Each structure stands twice: as structure tokens, then as C-alpha cells.
Structure 1
Amino acid sequence: MPASTGTEAAARVADVLLLFTGGPEYLGVSTISRELGLSKAVVYRILQSLVSREVLATDPGVVGYRLGPAAVALGASALRRFDARTAAAPVLRRLRDETGETTTLSGLVGDERVYLEQFESRAEIKMTVDIGKRFPLHAGSSGKAMLANLPPWRRDAVLAGELAALTERTITDEAALRDELTTIAAEGVAVSLGERQAGAGSVAAPLIGPDGEVHGAISICGPEYRFTPEKIERYRRLVHDATEEIARNWAGPQAAEATR
């Protein structure tokens, strides 16, 4: 299929979905066809494809289509991440200023993690991260902080897979990694010295959402030589307290008031 044809097809699917973001709950083939200027045959094929993937759904006795569970899940995931970034931003900015190091927010994406936000250190020599790039959960403090707090079945699935060595210090032995994850879960903080990136140090804590599940992690990261035992101990306390503050911000003023 030519690239232009594929782009047009993707645009048509997107246009169909966007119609469901406003207006009536149910939309039929004729309405969509009329609104978008597409043939009913094309609209029907798009709708059937979306239904097969549970992005759209139908109900007995009702003419038309509505948003399905997959669309709801996507929307909820996007909203959580948006809310997490909004709640975390002022805390991470302050944490950057307090420590002089780069601070980051990572999100859980399937069995991997991705950097969602960073506040770069103002130091001449500093660490920066690639926003949007995916990394395995077993390497680095942010990934381990999330992995340690996943439900056991999800954690086991990750540990049963490939534990690739990103550097010579990456922990690839399953038993050793399980022992460390147990400690991380108990202490609420993970530390990495050159495990994901050679020469980099980081301290991270898991970010637990209002639903009680881990959705990400925040970290303080920088050149490994600056991560002395004294600073690591200080950063452990800072990230732990910061995640609690972010969680309160994330839950909203009503939840914060209820905990007083």
C-alpha cells in the first residue's frame, strides 16, 4: 500500500473516532458518512475494524455505535499521565533546585518505562534523558522502583523474560534481582549506579496513583561521581517525600482534605 494511501486511511479512522468525542453517545453509519463525506461502505469497514478491537462497541436493541472499553482504557491512561505530569511538575522543579541534579518523571508503558518529563540540572556537567524513549524495567532506579511494586504476576512475567545487560553493572541474574526488588519494595526507594547508563547515578521512588497501583516513578539523576553515600542517603529521603507530595496533588484537594 502506498504511503499516501495508508496516511489517508489512518486519517479516516482518526476522523471517525473524533466524532465520538462530542455529540450523541451513539452514532450510526449514515450519520458518520454524512458528517465526513465518506461512502457508507468505507465507514462500515472502519467501524467493524474498531469494534473488533473493542475501540467501539454496539448494544443490543440500539442502532449505532459507541466508544468501547479499549477507548475508555486509552482515555483513562492518557488522563492519568496528564494528571501525573501536572501534579509532579512543581515538585520535580523544586527537587532539581534543592539538589542541583536533573529530576525526572517516568511512566509505566506495558512492561517497559518511558521518560515523560525532566527538569535539567543547571550544572555544566549533568545528566539528561531521552523523553519518550522506552527502557526495560530491570535496569536503572526508576525501572526497578516500578518493577518492585507491580503485582506479583506482572513482576514474574518481566523477570521470566530477557534481562539484557545495558551496561556491565546491569543486574541480569534473576535471583539477585528478586532479592533487590524485595528490598526496594520494603524501603520504597531504588538506587542505580551505572546500571542503565555507564557513569550515571540515580535514586528513584515509585509513583502510586489514586487507584493504588504503580504508574510511574520519579528520580534524581546525575554523574555517578557526585552520588556519594551521603548524597544518596539524602536523595532517598527527598524522593520518598516527593512521591507522597505528588500523590496528594494527583489525588486532588478533596483527597488531601480527607487525610488531614
Structure 2
Amino acid sequence: MNQSIIKALSLLDFFTEEKPELSLKEITDLVQLPKPTVYRLLTSLEYCGFLTKTKDSEYDKRYKLGLKLMELGQLVSDQLELRKIALPHMKRLANEINEVVHLVIVQHHEAVYIEKVESTHALRLFTRIGKRSPLYLGSGPKLLLAFLPEKKRVEIIDESNLYNFNQILLNKDQLKKEIEEIKTNGFAISYGEQDEGTIGVSYPIYNYHGEVIASLAVSGPSYRFEGEHLEVIKESTMKIAESISSEMGYRLISP
């Protein structure tokens, strides 16, 4: 572990409701490290937005918590609210179609699976909450990639070579074509992109700003996703995604 990062982040614990602002000397006394070391750590936290300097003179330097912590706290709060709202709907969907249901979000340049409801089938996919995936593999991640702001989407696709889980180089032009189809169709479907012999179907979840904040993903062995049953899965998943979006404050405005 990086001890400098641990030491720097531990300084944030000294800021409390009773003491929202601290001087360099106060922090140095509390942490019992050399003053130059503490100042270097504080400067790093200030640079990253975790602290804001409220006074800067030769004799007195004072700090308070920065807005970056508020931003991160809001992200955590939003994720907790999303999981709380989505879970009952996900359970209902799993009961209807008896396939594994995932809730997937974007974190930096990756997709993260933050909730899961299992099926009752003996043959199941091995997935877990906290799983990370490239945004270009699988129906859930790929749907999120499609609805990212164009600049970020282009950056992710063009920044480096893209490989599947078998380390085979992907065709970027084909990926861009799939992304446009997802945006046009309003859902994503994938065939064996994360696990051989599986199919994934995903629909977007919107917030009250009309932004896609997650994908509702259903997946299972391909032989269970065929013909009329696939259409039932798509219809049920779409309706549940719409229900979650509605509870998140999204309102579809008809033209």
C-alpha cells in the first residue's frame, strides 16, 4: 500500500463538525509528523480538491474540507438511492423471467455491477456485485458507452487498442456501428462477449435530468434466450427499466 496516500487521506479525519477549519500547526500537532511533511500532504490534498486553503500567510495557514468531497459524497448517495429503488423492481423482473438481473453503472472508464438478483436455474452465470468490465464488452456496459457524452465515448474507443476476453483485437469501426444501433434502438444485446454461449439484453435507466445513469441488464445461456421467449425478456426488461426510471424522477415527454 502507498503510505503517503494513506497518511494524506488520514488528515481528513481531523476535520469535524466542531472543528471544520484547522491550521497547519494544529494538524501537525495532531498527526505528530514533521511540519514540512504535513505541509506537503496538505498541499497534495488541496491540489486534488479535498481541501481548500482559507488563509495563507507566512505565519498562519488554515484549511477546510473541499468541494471534491461533496461531489464524491453525492455520487455515493446517488448510487445508494439507485440501488434502493431498483432492487424491488429487479426482484420482480427476476421472478417474471427467471434469469439473472444486474444493475450496471459507469465509474471512470469502466462498467461496475452494483446490484444483482439471481435466477433459480441450476446453470447460472458466475457474476458478483463489484465486478468491473470494459465499457465495450457486454450489453450492460456497451449500452452505457452508447449514452455517454460524445467526447468521452470517442476518447474511450480511440484511446487504445480494444480486446475481448480472449485477447482478440476488436474492430473499432464495427463497435462504433453497434453504438449507433444501440442509440437508435434504445437497448443493447450482446452474444458471448463476456462469457461464451451467453446472451445479454440491457435497457437504460434515466434520472430526472433525462440522463442515462445505469443499465438494467439480463443475461443467461443463449439456449434460454431464443424466439418468443427472447421477445418476452426484452419487453419485461424494458418495462422494469422504465419503472425504475420513473421512480428516479424521469418523465418521458411525448413529442
- Distance in 2 (CA, whole Å) between partners of 1:181 and 1:43 is 48
- Rounded Cα–Cα distance in structure 1 between residues aligned with 2:184 and 2:34: 58
Distance 2:34 2:208 in 1: 43
Q: Where does the alignment leave 5 or more consecutive residues of structure 1 unmatched?
A: none
Q: Secondary structure at the match of 1:236?
A: helix
* Paired amino acid for 2:105: G
**Hey, what does 2:217 align to over in structure 1?**
219
- Once the two structures are superposed, residues 169-191 of structure 1 have per-residue CA deviations (whole angstroms, 9 ceiling, x without a partner) of x8922222222211211222111
Per-residue CA deviations over 1:14-65 (Å, capped at 9, x if unaligned) read 432233363344332344345x453471543322221122211124689622
Q: Which residue of 2 aligns with 1:32?
A: 27
CA shift at 1:159, angstroms? Answer: 1.8
Aligned length: 246
* 2:196 paired with 1:198: yes
The offset of 1:233, in angstroms, is 1.8
Query: Which deviations, in whole Å up to 9, do the C-alpha atoms of 1:113-168 show, x marking residues without a partner?
Result: 01111111111112231332321111110011101111111111122132212259
**Aligned AA (1:71):** L
Is contact 2:161-2:169 (8 Å) kept? no
- The answer on whether the counterparts of 1:91 and 1:246 sit within 8 Å (CA) in structure 2 is yes
Percent of paired sites with the same residue: 28
- Choose which of 59, 72, 75 in structure 2 pairs with 1:74: 72
Unaligned runs of 5+ in 2: none
Among candidates 42, 47, 54, match of residue 49 of structure 2 = 54
Q: Which amino acid aligns with 1:214?
A: V
Are the counterparts in 2 of residues 188 and 240 from structure 1 also a CA contact under 8 Å? Answer: no
What are the within-5 Å matches in structure 2 for residues 65-214 of structure 1? 65-160=63-158, 161-167=160-166, 172-214=170-212
Classify 1:154/1:32 alpha carbon distance in 2 versus 1 (closer, same or farther; 3 Å): same
CA RMSD of aligned residues (A): 2.7
Judged with a 3 Å threshold, the aligned counterparts in structure 2 of structure 1 residues 152 and 171 are, in CA distance, closer, same or farther, namely farther
- Look up the equivalent residue of 2:248 and give its one-letter code: W
TM-score by length of 1: 0.82
> 1:167, 1:196 within 8 Å by CA — same for their partners in 2?
no
Say whether the 8 Å CA contact 1:29–1:40 is kept in structure 2.
no
SS in 2 for 1:65: strand
